[in-house]
Amino acid sequence: MSENETKIASGYRFAGVHCGLKADGVADLALIVSEAPAVMAATFTRNRFPAAPVVYGRRQLELHTPVRAVLVNAGNANACTGRQGEIDVMTTVEVLASVLKIDRDEIFVSSTGVIGEPFPVTTVLKGIEALAEGIAADTSASSGALEAAARAIMTTDQVPKIAASTVMTSQGPVTVTGIAKGAGMIHPDMATMLAYLLCDVEIGEKEWREMLSRVVDLSFNRISVDGDTSTNDTVLALANGASGCRLESESELAALETGLLEVARQLAYMIVKDGEGATKVVTVRVVGAADRPAAEKVARAVANSALVKTAFFGQDANWGRIVAAVGYAGVEIDSDRVNIDFDQVRVVSNGVRDPRYRESDGAAVLKEAEFVVKIDLNQGDGDFSLLTSDLTHDYISINADYRS
């Protein structure tokens, strides 16, 4: 394996093909297969219009069924498709189960793409055979096959998103490999985002599910591109035990969680960096709030403000937009105690422009591709951070004709 290849968790194989959901021969159908039944953990969108595969996935989660295969299509969300959409999911699952010779309950499905269009199930079924051939060819779980799968789940993404981490344990190495898609409709509480975290550890279902819940809250639920939450958001984590390492001690479980969080945060960062038309990655950090929920409300208000985000794009150090967002966040504050910094530049002290602040210093920070906006409310120990992007002309162009 070359230095540029991604470390792949043991016991997983990958394929990505073009089946006809997207034009110009672009890959649009992906398959992940675990050689052994894998413990499943998942989180889904909170949108009240859940897509058919989300409805199906929630049922799987309740049944506690191990997962052997994950099928993901781009180009069509299979959302707002009614009972027929659910029937199409079942049809797809039954055909794939027959091809792979596994139980249909061991198959997890996801979709991403345009909402409200009938699901082209016949087209997907035609692609399943090609996927099975690709899986058969990926006997050594190559980085090329992993990248093919990562590309096949993209919609408006400009780059595939892949990350990995290896945790050393007393029983040997445990690897987490992750792929994700997402660039628009990105908002905390998931987003138009699909993410798959694959691990070769042996672990109890309860521990695995609790671990994923904590990891998602610290990663994918702390990003925002445009404030829109999709119908299809999914994070799936699988643990198939192929490494032969079973972790039970608190210290080694904590180390595994750190590795899982590292991969999730890398993927979350990539999503923001690849935000539709984005040119900036901005960390909004709120400290000194009365408590953590108050800090979160303020951070989300600032990170989701269209006025703030367009100022970031224009490299306009218009700090008044930030204090306005702080003020409408719905949190009791003492405005005379608020401080704001752009990186190391103090912009606001005690609710007013810092007497040492120069506009050119603030503008210099905003010219950077990445920077931190720190808001200190000076009212307690509450602390919350999230990643956001700027809002650009390209975002409008991409979304004005997304379906064309």
Strand, helix or coil at 378? coil
| Paired strand residues for 14 | 32
| Residue the block writes with tokens 């120069």 | 358
Which distant-in-sequence residues (6+ apart) come within 8 Å of 389 by Cβ? 224, 225, 272, 273, 275, 278, 279, 280, 281, 282, 309, 312
Amino acid at 52: A
> What end-to-end distance do the CA atoms of the chain give, in Å?
41
Tokens of 285: 């950090």
Strand, helix or coil at 274? coil
Strand, helix or coil at 164? strand
Count CB atoms within 10 A of the CB of residue 200: 27
Q: Are 389 and 304 in contact (CB under 8 A)?
A: no
3-state secondary structure string, 242-253? CCCCECCCHHHH
Tokens of 172: 């040997």
166 catalytic? Reply is: no
**Burial class, 332, CB count within 10 angstroms (exposed 0-12 / middle 13-18 / buried 19+):** exposed
CA distance linking residue 292 with residue 179, whole number of Å: 30
Which distant-in-sequence residues (6+ apart) come within 8 Å of 92 by Cβ? 71, 109, 121, 124, 125, 128
Positive or negative, the CA dihedral 272, 277, 279, 280 is: negative
Which distant-in-sequence residues (6+ apart) come within 8 Å of 200 by Cβ? 9, 10, 11, 12, 174, 175, 239, 240, 241, 242, 243, 245
**Residue in 43, 45, 192, 231 annotated catalytic:** 192
Could you tell me if residue 344 is left (phi over 0), alpha (psi between -120 and 50 degrees) or otherwise beta?
alpha
- Residues with catalytic annotation? 192
